[in-house]
Amino acid sequence: MSLEVKEKMEVRLVFLGAGGVGKTALIQRFLKDTFEPKHRRTVEDLHRKEYEVEGVKVTIDITDTSGSYSFPAMRRLSIQNSDAFALVYAVDDPNSLEAVKRLRQEILEVKEDKYTPIVVIGNKIDRYNERQVSVKDVLSSVELDWNHSFLESSAKDNVNVLEVFRELLQQANLPSRLSPSLFRRRETIPKDNNKRPPMNKTNSCVIS
């Protein structure tokens, strides 16, 4: 009797950004469909989620980095060992966008590859009245100058959270036959009838 041989895949994602922009909130919304309104400072947390899709075992490692403390050696190690990066800023905090710019440059220096898979995320779009960073402010830099994907999200309202992770996995070269199947397994969140804001997303760059 022949034994079924199963493929194995591991994808490493890292979330970077200033303190309080919602990195942990996005990860917790994806993994547990929960939202904790009180901000808690993160040093560095590693989350692991395993899926079995079409006979392939997929392990997603998600590193949640600190934005409040300075651990440059730890951050550089996370960058070196990861496949794709989420650079998160808050739309009500222009300084957090400046942090994204600095972190992007650090990623490119560590990885020594200008085509490193990066997704830029403007979080907290639920804060309509406090927005200080417009899509226009970011889109031209991300799309034209950086050639990265860009989305806006809300961990609080669960807007575009799945899309963030779908884009990261596609950028990390997860085989296209697996990505849709994985998210069909993951999308168990009850659908609501409320209309959500449209996703602001550029065309993804192709990573060969």
List, for residues 78-135, the tens digit of each pLDDT value: 899 999 999 999 999 999 999 999 999 999 999 998 889 999 999 999 999 999 999 9
Which residues in the chain show pLDDT less than 50? 1-5, 189-208
Q: How far apart are CA 112 and CA 108, in angstroms?
A: 5
Confidence (pLDDT) at 143: 76
Classify residue 203: in a domain, yes or no: no
Confidence (pLDDT) at 44: 65
If one counts the domains in the chain, the total is: 1
Closest CA to 43 of 14, 15, 65: 65
Note down the domain range covering 109.
7-186
Confidence (pLDDT) at 135: 93
Classify residue 103: in a domain, yes or no: yes
Classify residue 208: in a domain, yes or no: no
- For residue 141, the 8-state DSSP code is I
Classify residue 76: in a domain, yes or no: yes
Torsion sign over Cα 165, 158, 75, 206: positive
Classify residue 204: in a domain, yes or no: no
Q: Which residues contact 24 (CB under 8 A, 6 or more apart)?
A: 36, 40, 42, 45, 64
Confidence (pLDDT) at 101: 95
Confidence (pLDDT) at 9: 86
Do 166 and 119 touch, CB atoms closer than 8 A? no
What's the CATH number where 42 sits?
A: 3.40.50.300
